[in-house]
Structure 1
Amino acid sequence: MQPLLDVSGVTLRYKTPSVLVTATERVSFEVNTSDRFVLLGPSGCGKSTLLKAVGGYLHPSEGEIRIKGRKVTEPGADRMMVFQEFDQLLPWKTVLDNVMFPLLNARKMGRSEARDRAAAYIEKVGLTRAMNSYPHTLSGGMKQRVAIARGMAMEPDILLMDEPFAALDALTRRTCQDELLQLWEETRFTVMFVTHSIAEAIKIGNRILLLSPHPGRVKAEVVDVEHASPTDGSAGRLEREIHELLFAQDGHGE
Protein backbone atom coordinates (compact mmCIF):
# COMPACT_ATOMS: atom_id res chain seq x y z
CA MET A 1 0.00 0.00 0.00
CA GLN A 2 1.35 3.41 -0.97
CA PRO A 3 2.31 5.55 2.04
CA LEU A 4 0.61 8.90 2.52
CA LEU A 5 4.00 10.64 2.76
CA ASP A 6 7.27 9.35 1.35
CA VAL A 7 10.52 11.12 2.24
CA SER A 8 13.36 9.57 0.26
CA GLY A 9 17.06 10.34 0.76
CA VAL A 10 16.46 13.99 1.66
CA THR A 11 19.43 16.24 2.30
CA LEU A 12 18.64 19.83 3.24
CA ARG A 13 21.19 22.63 3.05
CA TYR A 14 20.95 26.38 3.55
CA LYS A 15 23.38 29.28 3.33
CA THR A 16 24.38 31.65 6.09
CA PRO A 17 26.51 34.74 5.39
CA SER A 18 29.67 32.72 6.07
CA VAL A 19 28.98 29.01 5.51
CA LEU A 20 26.81 26.38 3.81
CA VAL A 21 24.96 24.43 6.52
CA THR A 22 23.82 20.84 6.08
CA ALA A 23 20.70 20.46 8.23
CA THR A 24 19.80 16.86 7.34
CA GLU A 25 21.61 14.16 5.39
CA ARG A 26 19.92 11.42 3.35
CA VAL A 27 16.87 11.13 5.60
CA SER A 28 14.24 8.59 4.53
CA PHE A 29 10.94 7.57 6.12
CA GLU A 30 7.28 6.95 5.35
CA VAL A 31 4.13 8.19 7.06
CA ASN A 32 0.89 6.25 6.71
CA THR A 33 -2.68 7.48 7.00
CA SER A 34 -3.73 8.10 10.64
CA ASP A 35 -0.14 7.88 11.92
CA ARG A 36 0.93 10.02 14.83
CA PHE A 37 4.48 10.27 13.51
CA VAL A 38 7.04 12.03 15.69
CA LEU A 39 10.41 13.46 14.64
CA LEU A 40 12.59 13.38 17.75
CA GLY A 41 16.11 14.66 18.21
CA PRO A 42 18.25 17.23 20.01
CA SER A 43 18.11 20.92 19.14
CA GLY A 44 19.83 21.65 15.84
CA CYS A 45 19.34 18.20 14.29
CA GLY A 46 17.21 19.56 11.44
CA LYS A 47 13.81 18.23 12.48
CA SER A 48 12.02 21.60 12.09
CA THR A 49 13.84 22.19 8.80
CA LEU A 50 12.63 18.79 7.62
CA LEU A 51 9.06 19.62 8.64
CA LYS A 52 9.22 22.85 6.63
CA ALA A 53 10.45 20.87 3.62
CA VAL A 54 7.47 18.53 3.92
CA GLY A 55 5.32 21.66 4.05
CA GLY A 56 6.87 22.78 0.76
CA TYR A 57 8.62 25.85 2.18
CA LEU A 58 12.14 24.47 1.55
CA HIS A 59 13.48 22.38 -1.32
CA PRO A 60 15.78 19.38 -0.82
CA SER A 61 19.34 19.58 -2.10
CA GLU A 62 19.14 15.81 -2.63
CA GLY A 63 16.28 13.33 -2.60
CA GLU A 64 12.57 14.05 -2.86
CA ILE A 65 9.37 14.29 -0.87
CA ARG A 66 6.08 12.88 -2.15
CA ILE A 67 2.58 13.06 -0.74
CA LYS A 68 0.07 10.60 -2.19
CA GLY A 69 2.65 9.92 -4.87
CA ARG A 70 2.89 13.58 -5.94
CA LYS A 71 6.21 15.37 -5.60
CA VAL A 72 6.13 18.25 -3.11
CA THR A 73 7.32 21.43 -4.84
CA GLU A 74 5.42 24.15 -2.96
CA PRO A 75 3.10 24.69 0.03
CA GLY A 76 -0.43 23.35 -0.31
CA ALA A 77 -3.71 23.02 1.56
CA ASP A 78 -3.07 19.28 1.86
CA ARG A 79 -0.36 20.11 4.46
CA MET A 80 -1.33 22.53 7.21
CA MET A 81 1.22 23.70 9.77
CA VAL A 82 0.97 24.61 13.46
CA PHE A 83 4.00 26.47 14.80
CA GLN A 84 5.42 26.90 18.28
CA GLU A 85 4.95 30.67 18.32
CA PHE A 86 1.86 32.17 19.94
CA ASP A 87 1.68 35.01 17.36
CA GLN A 88 0.69 32.78 14.42
CA LEU A 89 -2.92 34.01 14.57
CA LEU A 90 -4.05 37.19 12.82
CA PRO A 91 -4.45 39.68 15.71
CA TRP A 92 -7.16 41.78 14.02
CA LYS A 93 -9.43 38.76 13.46
CA THR A 94 -11.60 36.92 15.97
CA VAL A 95 -11.12 33.24 16.76
CA LEU A 96 -13.89 32.38 14.30
CA ASP A 97 -12.46 34.58 11.56
CA ASN A 98 -8.95 33.14 12.10
CA VAL A 99 -10.24 29.61 11.58
CA MET A 100 -12.36 30.67 8.60
CA PHE A 101 -9.54 32.58 6.92
CA PRO A 102 -7.69 29.69 5.18
CA LEU A 103 -11.00 28.10 4.16
CA LEU A 104 -12.05 31.28 2.39
CA ASN A 105 -8.58 32.04 1.05
CA ALA A 106 -8.35 28.58 -0.54
CA ARG A 107 -11.80 29.14 -2.07
CA LYS A 108 -12.84 25.69 -0.95
CA MET A 109 -16.34 26.81 0.05
CA GLY A 110 -18.69 29.74 0.52
CA ARG A 111 -18.76 31.93 3.60
CA SER A 112 -21.71 30.19 5.23
CA GLU A 113 -20.20 26.72 4.84
CA ALA A 114 -16.81 28.02 6.00
CA ARG A 115 -18.43 29.50 9.11
CA ASP A 116 -20.16 26.20 9.94
CA ARG A 117 -16.94 24.21 9.37
CA ALA A 118 -14.89 26.63 11.47
CA ALA A 119 -17.44 26.63 14.30
CA ALA A 120 -17.45 22.82 14.35
CA TYR A 121 -13.67 22.61 14.76
CA ILE A 122 -13.62 25.40 17.33
CA GLU A 123 -16.11 23.31 19.30
CA LYS A 124 -13.86 20.26 18.96
CA VAL A 125 -11.02 22.14 20.70
CA GLY A 126 -13.39 23.41 23.40
CA LEU A 127 -13.35 27.12 22.53
CA THR A 128 -16.94 27.83 21.46
CA ARG A 129 -17.33 30.46 24.18
CA ALA A 130 -14.24 32.27 22.86
CA MET A 131 -15.39 32.21 19.23
CA ASN A 132 -15.79 35.99 19.02
CA SER A 133 -12.70 36.82 21.09
CA TYR A 134 -9.47 38.29 19.71
CA PRO A 135 -6.08 36.57 20.10
CA HIS A 136 -4.71 39.12 22.58
CA THR A 137 -7.40 38.08 25.08
CA LEU A 138 -6.44 34.38 24.95
CA SER A 139 -3.91 32.40 26.96
CA GLY A 140 -1.01 30.68 25.21
CA GLY A 141 -2.75 27.30 25.40
CA MET A 142 -5.95 28.71 23.95
CA LYS A 143 -4.06 30.30 21.06
CA GLN A 144 -2.47 26.96 20.22
CA ARG A 145 -5.89 25.28 20.30
CA VAL A 146 -7.16 27.89 17.84
CA ALA A 147 -4.16 27.21 15.59
CA ILE A 148 -4.92 23.48 15.72
CA ALA A 149 -8.59 24.11 14.91
CA ARG A 150 -7.55 26.32 11.99
CA GLY A 151 -5.27 23.63 10.60
CA MET A 152 -7.76 20.82 11.06
CA ALA A 153 -10.68 22.78 9.61
CA MET A 154 -8.93 22.55 6.24
CA GLU A 155 -9.09 18.76 6.67
CA PRO A 156 -5.57 18.36 5.24
CA ASP A 157 -3.96 15.07 4.32
CA ILE A 158 -1.41 15.68 7.09
CA LEU A 159 -1.16 18.15 9.98
CA LEU A 160 2.40 19.36 10.57
CA MET A 161 3.15 20.42 14.15
CA ASP A 162 6.45 22.11 15.03
CA GLU A 163 6.88 21.84 18.82
CA PRO A 164 3.42 23.40 19.30
CA PHE A 165 3.40 23.04 23.10
CA ALA A 166 7.07 23.77 23.87
CA ALA A 167 6.48 27.33 25.10
CA LEU A 168 3.62 26.39 27.43
CA ASP A 169 3.91 25.79 31.17
CA ALA A 170 4.03 22.13 32.23
CA LEU A 171 0.39 21.79 33.28
CA THR A 172 -0.98 23.52 30.17
CA ARG A 173 1.35 21.48 27.98
CA ARG A 174 0.06 18.24 29.44
CA THR A 175 -3.55 19.37 29.00
CA CYS A 176 -2.92 20.28 25.35
CA GLN A 177 -1.26 16.91 24.73
CA ASP A 178 -4.29 15.13 26.18
CA GLU A 179 -6.67 17.24 24.10
CA LEU A 180 -4.71 16.52 20.92
CA LEU A 181 -4.90 12.78 21.57
CA GLN A 182 -8.62 13.01 22.31
CA LEU A 183 -9.14 14.90 19.06
CA TRP A 184 -7.15 12.23 17.21
CA GLU A 185 -9.38 9.53 18.70
CA GLU A 186 -12.42 11.34 17.29
CA THR A 187 -11.13 11.99 13.75
CA ARG A 188 -8.01 9.81 13.25
CA PHE A 189 -6.21 12.58 11.35
CA THR A 190 -2.58 12.12 10.27
CA VAL A 191 -0.08 14.19 12.20
CA MET A 192 3.67 14.71 11.91
CA PHE A 193 4.90 16.13 15.20
CA VAL A 194 8.32 17.62 15.98
CA THR A 195 9.70 17.63 19.52
CA HIS A 196 12.99 17.36 21.43
CA SER A 197 11.20 15.91 24.48
CA ILE A 198 11.41 12.12 24.72
CA ALA A 199 8.47 11.99 27.15
CA GLU A 200 6.29 14.06 24.81
CA ALA A 201 7.27 11.89 21.83
CA ILE A 202 6.21 8.74 23.70
CA LYS A 203 2.92 10.30 24.77
CA ILE A 204 1.98 11.73 21.36
CA GLY A 205 3.37 9.24 18.85
CA ASN A 206 2.59 5.77 17.64
CA ARG A 207 5.87 5.88 15.67
CA ILE A 208 9.02 7.86 16.51
CA LEU A 209 11.89 8.60 14.13
CA LEU A 210 15.13 9.36 15.97
CA LEU A 211 17.50 11.87 14.37
CA SER A 212 21.17 12.26 15.23
CA PRO A 213 22.74 15.56 16.30
CA HIS A 214 23.70 17.97 13.51
CA PRO A 215 23.50 17.10 10.70
CA GLY A 216 20.31 15.11 11.19
CA ARG A 217 20.55 11.50 10.09
CA VAL A 218 18.15 8.66 10.87
CA LYS A 219 19.43 6.75 13.88
CA ALA A 220 16.44 4.45 14.45
CA GLU A 221 12.67 4.17 14.27
CA VAL A 222 10.61 3.14 17.27
CA VAL A 223 7.24 1.54 16.49
CA ASP A 224 4.24 0.44 18.59
CA VAL A 225 4.96 3.33 20.96
CA GLU A 226 1.34 3.57 22.10
CA HIS A 227 1.68 0.22 23.89
CA ALA A 228 4.08 1.82 26.38
CA SER A 229 2.25 2.63 29.61
CA PRO A 230 3.32 4.89 32.48
CA THR A 231 1.44 2.68 34.95
CA ASP A 232 3.44 -0.51 34.41
CA GLY A 233 6.79 1.22 33.95
CA SER A 234 7.10 0.40 30.24
CA ALA A 235 6.98 4.07 29.25
CA GLY A 236 9.89 4.80 31.58
CA ARG A 237 11.90 1.90 30.18
CA LEU A 238 11.19 3.06 26.62
CA GLU A 239 12.29 6.59 27.51
CA ARG A 240 15.64 5.28 28.76
CA GLU A 241 16.08 3.10 25.66
CA ILE A 242 15.36 6.04 23.35
CA HIS A 243 17.82 8.22 25.24
CA GLU A 244 20.51 5.58 24.79
CA LEU A 245 19.71 5.26 21.06
CA LEU A 246 19.78 9.02 20.52
CA PHE A 247 23.13 9.58 22.13
CA ALA A 248 24.94 6.35 21.21
CA GLN A 249 28.11 6.82 19.18
CA ASP A 250 27.54 5.66 15.62
CA GLY A 251 30.80 6.35 13.84
CA HIS A 252 29.76 9.73 12.38
CA GLY A 253 31.35 11.72 15.17
CA GLU A 254 28.21 12.54 17.18
Structure 2
Amino acid sequence: MDGRDDACFAAVYRDDATASHAGYRKGTRRWLAPILAALLVLTGLCLLLYPVASDYLNKVEQAKVSNNLRQVVQEATPEDLSAWRQQAIDYNDRLYSGAAYVIDPFDPNAPKTSDEEYLSCLNLAGDGAMGTIVIPSIGVDLPIYHGVTGEGMDHGVGHEPNSSLPVGGPSTHAVLAGHTGLPSAVIFDKLDKLHVGDYFVLQVLDEDLAYRVTSTEVVLPDDTSSLAIQKDKDLVTLVTCTPYGVNSHRLLIHAERCDVPKEWLERKD
Protein backbone atom coordinates (compact mmCIF):
# COMPACT_ATOMS: atom_id res chain seq x y z
CA MET A 1 0.00 0.00 0.00
CA ASP A 2 1.58 3.29 -1.08
CA GLY A 3 1.24 6.66 0.64
CA ARG A 4 -1.85 7.62 -1.34
CA ASP A 5 -3.62 4.45 -0.28
CA ASP A 6 -2.70 5.11 3.36
CA ALA A 7 -4.03 8.63 3.17
CA CYS A 8 -7.22 7.43 1.50
CA PHE A 9 -7.71 4.74 4.16
CA ALA A 10 -7.14 7.28 6.95
CA ALA A 11 -9.64 9.66 5.42
CA VAL A 12 -12.26 6.92 5.11
CA TYR A 13 -11.61 5.86 8.71
CA ARG A 14 -12.01 9.44 9.91
CA ASP A 15 -15.24 9.81 7.98
CA ASP A 16 -16.59 6.54 9.41
CA ALA A 17 -15.56 7.54 12.94
CA THR A 18 -17.11 10.98 12.59
CA ALA A 19 -20.32 9.50 11.23
CA SER A 20 -20.39 6.93 14.02
CA HIS A 21 -19.83 9.60 16.68
CA ALA A 22 -22.50 11.83 15.18
CA GLY A 23 -24.92 8.92 15.14
CA TYR A 24 -24.12 8.18 18.77
CA ARG A 25 -24.78 11.77 19.75
CA LYS A 26 -28.06 11.78 17.86
CA GLY A 27 -29.06 8.52 19.52
CA THR A 28 -28.13 9.87 22.93
CA ARG A 29 -30.20 12.98 22.36
CA ARG A 30 -33.13 10.83 21.26
CA TRP A 31 -33.34 8.90 24.55
CA LEU A 32 -32.03 11.67 26.81
CA ALA A 33 -34.65 14.23 25.79
CA PRO A 34 -37.71 12.24 26.95
CA ILE A 35 -35.97 11.35 30.22
CA LEU A 36 -35.22 15.01 30.95
CA ALA A 37 -38.79 15.93 30.02
CA ALA A 38 -40.15 13.24 32.34
CA LEU A 39 -37.91 14.47 35.17
CA LEU A 40 -39.12 18.03 34.66
CA VAL A 41 -42.75 16.90 34.72
CA LEU A 42 -42.12 14.79 37.83
CA THR A 43 -40.42 17.71 39.58
CA GLY A 44 -43.31 19.99 38.69
CA LEU A 45 -45.84 17.49 40.01
CA CYS A 46 -43.90 17.13 43.26
CA LEU A 47 -43.86 20.89 43.72
CA LEU A 48 -47.58 21.08 43.03
CA LEU A 49 -48.50 18.15 45.26
CA TYR A 50 -46.20 18.96 48.19
CA PRO A 51 -48.51 21.53 49.84
CA VAL A 52 -51.52 19.25 49.43
CA ALA A 53 -49.76 16.17 50.78
CA SER A 54 -48.10 18.10 53.60
CA ASP A 55 -51.40 19.69 54.65
CA TYR A 56 -53.11 16.29 54.60
CA LEU A 57 -50.44 14.78 56.85
CA ASN A 58 -50.65 17.78 59.17
CA LYS A 59 -54.42 17.40 59.48
CA VAL A 60 -53.99 13.70 60.32
CA GLU A 61 -51.45 14.49 63.04
CA GLN A 62 -53.48 17.36 64.48
CA ALA A 63 -56.60 15.19 64.52
CA LYS A 64 -54.64 12.77 66.71
CA VAL A 65 -53.81 15.64 69.09
CA SER A 66 -57.46 16.69 69.31
CA ASN A 67 -58.68 13.11 69.75
CA ASN A 68 -56.10 12.50 72.47
CA LEU A 69 -57.30 15.61 74.30
CA ARG A 70 -60.92 14.49 74.03
CA GLN A 71 -59.93 11.10 75.41
CA VAL A 72 -58.29 12.74 78.43
CA VAL A 73 -61.45 14.77 79.03
CA GLN A 74 -63.69 11.71 78.71
CA GLU A 75 -61.62 9.81 81.25
CA ALA A 76 -61.41 12.72 83.71
CA THR A 77 -63.57 12.83 86.83
CA PRO A 78 -66.11 15.63 87.34
CA GLU A 79 -63.86 16.89 90.14
CA ASP A 80 -60.87 17.10 87.79
CA LEU A 81 -62.87 18.95 85.13
CA SER A 82 -64.20 21.39 87.72
CA ALA A 83 -60.70 22.04 89.08
CA TRP A 84 -59.22 22.60 85.60
CA ARG A 85 -62.04 24.98 84.68
CA GLN A 86 -61.72 26.92 87.92
CA GLN A 87 -57.97 27.27 87.43
CA ALA A 88 -58.61 28.86 84.02
CA ILE A 89 -61.36 31.12 85.39
CA ASP A 90 -59.08 32.31 88.19
CA TYR A 91 -56.35 33.04 85.65
CA ASN A 92 -58.80 35.06 83.54
CA ASP A 93 -60.01 37.02 86.57
CA ARG A 94 -56.44 38.02 87.46
CA LEU A 95 -55.77 38.90 83.82
CA TYR A 96 -58.81 41.20 83.75
CA SER A 97 -57.87 42.84 87.04
CA GLY A 98 -54.31 43.40 85.85
CA ALA A 99 -55.38 44.89 82.50
CA ALA A 100 -52.83 42.88 80.50
CA TYR A 101 -51.81 44.35 77.14
CA VAL A 102 -52.25 42.13 74.09
CA ILE A 103 -49.46 42.41 71.53
CA ASP A 104 -49.35 41.47 67.85
CA PRO A 105 -49.36 37.63 67.80
CA PHE A 106 -47.06 37.65 64.77
CA ASP A 107 -44.42 40.01 66.16
CA PRO A 108 -41.08 38.23 65.45
CA ASN A 109 -39.57 39.95 68.49
CA ALA A 110 -42.23 38.72 70.89
CA PRO A 111 -40.67 36.83 73.81
CA LYS A 112 -41.41 33.13 74.10
CA THR A 113 -43.97 32.33 76.78
CA SER A 114 -42.36 31.11 79.99
CA ASP A 115 -45.15 31.75 82.49
CA GLU A 116 -45.47 28.38 84.23
CA GLU A 117 -48.94 29.14 85.57
CA TYR A 118 -50.19 29.99 82.09
CA LEU A 119 -48.56 26.94 80.52
CA SER A 120 -50.12 24.67 83.14
CA CYS A 121 -53.68 25.93 82.59
CA LEU A 122 -55.74 23.59 80.38
CA ASN A 123 -52.62 21.57 79.50
CA LEU A 124 -54.49 18.34 80.19
CA ALA A 125 -52.51 16.01 77.92
CA GLY A 126 -49.16 17.67 78.53
CA ASP A 127 -48.62 18.51 74.84
CA GLY A 128 -49.55 22.19 74.98
CA ALA A 129 -52.99 21.76 73.39
CA MET A 130 -55.78 23.43 75.37
CA GLY A 131 -58.73 22.70 73.11
CA THR A 132 -59.94 22.58 69.52
CA ILE A 133 -61.39 25.22 67.23
CA VAL A 134 -63.90 24.17 64.58
CA ILE A 135 -65.04 26.62 61.90
CA PRO A 136 -67.56 24.66 59.79
CA SER A 137 -67.96 27.20 56.99
CA ILE A 138 -64.24 27.14 56.03
CA GLY A 139 -63.31 23.61 57.05
CA VAL A 140 -61.07 24.41 60.02
CA ASP A 141 -60.73 21.75 62.74
CA LEU A 142 -57.45 22.27 64.59
CA PRO A 143 -55.98 22.17 68.09
CA ILE A 144 -55.45 25.39 70.04
CA TYR A 145 -51.95 25.58 71.50
CA HIS A 146 -50.50 27.66 74.32
CA GLY A 147 -48.65 30.71 73.04
CA VAL A 148 -47.97 32.16 69.62
CA THR A 149 -44.19 31.68 69.39
CA GLY A 150 -43.78 27.90 69.66
CA GLU A 151 -44.06 25.04 67.19
CA GLY A 152 -47.80 24.84 67.76
CA MET A 153 -48.30 27.78 65.41
CA ASP A 154 -46.65 25.77 62.62
CA HIS A 155 -49.31 23.09 62.89
CA GLY A 156 -52.38 24.60 64.53
CA VAL A 157 -53.83 27.70 66.16
CA GLY A 158 -52.02 29.66 68.85
CA HIS A 159 -53.49 31.37 71.91
CA GLU A 160 -52.20 34.85 72.74
CA PRO A 161 -50.94 34.52 76.37
CA ASN A 162 -52.03 38.02 77.39
CA SER A 163 -55.62 37.29 76.40
CA SER A 164 -58.26 35.31 78.27
CA LEU A 165 -58.09 31.53 78.25
CA PRO A 166 -60.88 30.14 76.02
CA VAL A 167 -63.29 28.94 78.69
CA GLY A 168 -65.87 31.67 78.17
CA GLY A 169 -67.55 33.79 80.80
CA PRO A 170 -68.20 37.50 81.31
CA SER A 171 -65.34 39.97 80.89
CA THR A 172 -63.23 37.59 78.80
CA HIS A 173 -61.63 38.05 75.40
CA ALA A 174 -59.62 35.16 73.95
CA VAL A 175 -57.33 35.97 71.02
CA LEU A 176 -56.52 33.04 68.72
CA ALA A 177 -53.97 33.38 65.93
CA GLY A 178 -53.18 31.24 62.91
CA HIS A 179 -50.80 31.57 59.98
CA THR A 180 -51.85 32.14 56.38
CA GLY A 181 -49.74 30.89 53.48
CA LEU A 182 -47.64 28.22 55.17
CA PRO A 183 -46.30 25.80 52.52
CA SER A 184 -46.72 22.86 54.90
CA ALA A 185 -50.20 23.43 56.34
CA VAL A 186 -53.46 25.30 55.80
CA ILE A 187 -54.36 27.03 59.06
CA PHE A 188 -56.26 30.33 58.73
CA ASP A 189 -55.82 30.74 54.95
CA LYS A 190 -59.58 31.00 54.40
CA LEU A 191 -60.32 33.26 57.36
CA ASP A 192 -61.18 36.08 54.95
CA LYS A 193 -64.16 33.98 53.81
CA LEU A 194 -65.84 34.35 57.22
CA HIS A 195 -68.73 36.79 57.31
CA VAL A 196 -70.82 38.47 59.96
CA GLY A 197 -73.30 35.88 61.22
CA ASP A 198 -71.04 32.86 60.69
CA TYR A 199 -70.20 30.85 63.77
CA PHE A 200 -67.37 28.74 65.13
CA VAL A 201 -67.02 26.45 68.12
CA LEU A 202 -64.29 26.10 70.74
CA GLN A 203 -64.19 22.63 72.26
CA VAL A 204 -62.56 23.11 75.66
CA LEU A 205 -62.76 20.61 78.51
CA ASP A 206 -66.23 19.06 78.22
CA GLU A 207 -67.93 22.11 76.70
CA ASP A 208 -68.71 23.32 73.20
CA LEU A 209 -68.52 27.12 73.28
CA ALA A 210 -70.15 28.75 70.24
CA TYR A 211 -69.27 32.23 68.98
CA ARG A 212 -70.90 34.21 66.19
CA VAL A 213 -68.98 36.68 64.05
CA THR A 214 -70.03 40.27 64.79
CA SER A 215 -67.49 42.23 62.73
CA THR A 216 -64.29 42.01 60.72
CA GLU A 217 -61.51 44.54 60.26
CA VAL A 218 -58.03 44.95 58.80
CA VAL A 219 -55.53 46.82 60.96
CA LEU A 220 -51.82 47.52 61.21
CA PRO A 221 -49.84 45.01 63.31
CA ASP A 222 -49.43 47.36 66.27
CA ASP A 223 -53.12 48.30 66.41
CA THR A 224 -54.36 45.89 69.07
CA SER A 225 -56.89 48.22 70.69
CA SER A 226 -59.86 46.07 69.65
CA LEU A 227 -58.34 43.00 71.37
CA ALA A 228 -58.88 44.39 74.86
CA ILE A 229 -61.26 42.74 77.32
CA GLN A 230 -64.67 44.40 77.43
CA LYS A 231 -66.57 44.39 80.70
CA ASP A 232 -69.28 41.71 80.95
CA LYS A 233 -68.75 40.54 77.35
CA ASP A 234 -67.67 37.04 76.29
CA LEU A 235 -65.55 37.56 73.17
CA VAL A 236 -63.14 35.75 70.88
CA THR A 237 -61.07 37.32 68.10
CA LEU A 238 -59.38 35.29 65.36
CA VAL A 239 -56.24 36.84 63.87
CA THR A 240 -54.16 36.17 60.76
CA CYS A 241 -51.81 38.05 58.45
CA THR A 242 -53.05 39.81 55.31
CA PRO A 243 -52.76 40.39 52.35
CA TYR A 244 -51.73 36.90 51.33
CA GLY A 245 -47.98 36.74 50.79
CA VAL A 246 -47.46 40.35 51.89
CA ASN A 247 -48.49 40.13 55.55
CA SER A 248 -48.28 43.86 56.17
CA HIS A 249 -51.60 44.00 58.04
CA ARG A 250 -53.73 41.86 60.33
CA LEU A 251 -57.19 40.50 59.62
CA LEU A 252 -59.31 40.42 62.77
CA ILE A 253 -62.50 38.40 63.02
CA HIS A 254 -64.45 39.51 66.10
CA ALA A 255 -67.07 37.18 67.57
CA GLU A 256 -69.33 37.06 70.60
CA ARG A 257 -70.67 34.10 72.57
CA CYS A 258 -73.98 32.73 71.35
CA ASP A 259 -76.18 29.72 71.91
CA VAL A 260 -74.83 26.56 70.32
CA PRO A 261 -76.45 26.48 66.85
CA LYS A 262 -78.93 23.71 66.12
CA GLU A 263 -76.95 22.69 63.04
CA TRP A 264 -73.90 22.07 65.24
CA LEU A 265 -75.88 19.86 67.60
CA GLU A 266 -77.30 17.95 64.63
CA ARG A 267 -73.83 17.59 63.15
CA LYS A 268 -72.51 16.08 66.36
CA ASP A 269 -75.39 13.61 66.46
Give the number of the structure whose alpha-carbon radius of gyration is greater: 2
Structure of greater relative contact order (alpha carbons < 8 Å, 6+ residues apart): 1
| TM-score of the aligned structures, taking structure 2 as reference length | 0.23
